[in-house]
Amino acid sequence: MEVYRTPDERFENLPGYDFKPHYFEMYGLADHGKSLRMHYLEEGDPRGEPVLLLHGEPTWSFLYRKMIPPLAEAGYRVIAPDYFGFGRSDKPQDMGWYTYDAHVESVKRLVDELDLSDITVVVQDWGGPIGLRVATEMDELYSRLVILNTGILSGQTNMSAAWWAFHDFVDKVKPDVPVAMLVKGACKTEPPDDVMAGYEAPFPVPESKWGVAAFPMIVPTSTDSPGATEMMAMAEALMSWKKPALVAFSDSDPIFNLKTGQRFVDRIPGARPLVTIEGASHFLQEDRGELIAGHIVEFLKS
């Protein structure tokens, strides 16, 4: 299997993203005998409580650039990885390599490698199914949840027309997915050109985009789909989550709306009342990142 590694110069002079890169070599992931290099950011106090920021599709840790500084300045150890196939992490050039289990396993290994505990995990989009599963399966290491615009994709309910339009578009153009166009279309306020170039930076050629192309294809669309059983187990585990949880959803997301956010609040015993992020769409970190970071700091300090 061929693996694409984005050249370092693609990440130079990105707006608001002057963080030092860190890397972790993983071996034998998803039955792949070679090593793969995962990239992650680590900012703030190394002795502080860890805050793990998990991105979704088709973004990478660049999505959290507005939130990392205020969280770090508040005294937390802020960690933002790029999944394999995204950001500065290695990108296997085989769409079949990308599975729900492989992404979950990679995050678990990173948590072990960094010896994290008392973790607050912040999830959005695909970060929800990945991060909430990791948190419930490694319950002893996780103390708090922050849930932003995501869902439990167990195949038990019909996906929206907007999601199916996205799925079918990616299936048609794969692997050459227009990352910046998709991000721009899911923001309330159109980001400037240099920010759009930042989202495109990891993906200079079609063969770098198989991870992006894979995510819509691995969403369980029936209870028999791969990953559906694990998602349902995660959903059941959340019904027993009595530790603190903050749920914050934006007011203009066509895929995961405020009703979805309220369902998380109703499901999780430890959840605070739903927080509405006004003036934001699906990628609320891009639209209102500083505001969301303020809500998280307030939540953690309370």
Question: Where in the sequence numbering do the catalytic residues fall?
Answer: 125, 253, 282
Q: Which of 107, 87, 3 is nearest to 39 (CA)?
A: 87
Determine the Cα–Cα distance for residues 61 and 41; give it in Å rounded to an integer: 8
Determine the Cα–Cα distance for residues 95 and 97; give it in Å rounded to an integer: 5
Determine the Cα–Cα distance for residues 147 and 150; give it in Å rounded to an integer: 7
Kindly give the interhelix angle for 228-238 and 258-267, rounded to the nearest 10 degrees: 60
Q: Which residues are within 8 A (CB) of 284 and not within 5 positions of it... i.e. 6 or more apart?
A: 124, 148, 149, 248, 249, 250, 253, 277, 292
* Cβ pair 72, 194 in contact under 8 A: no
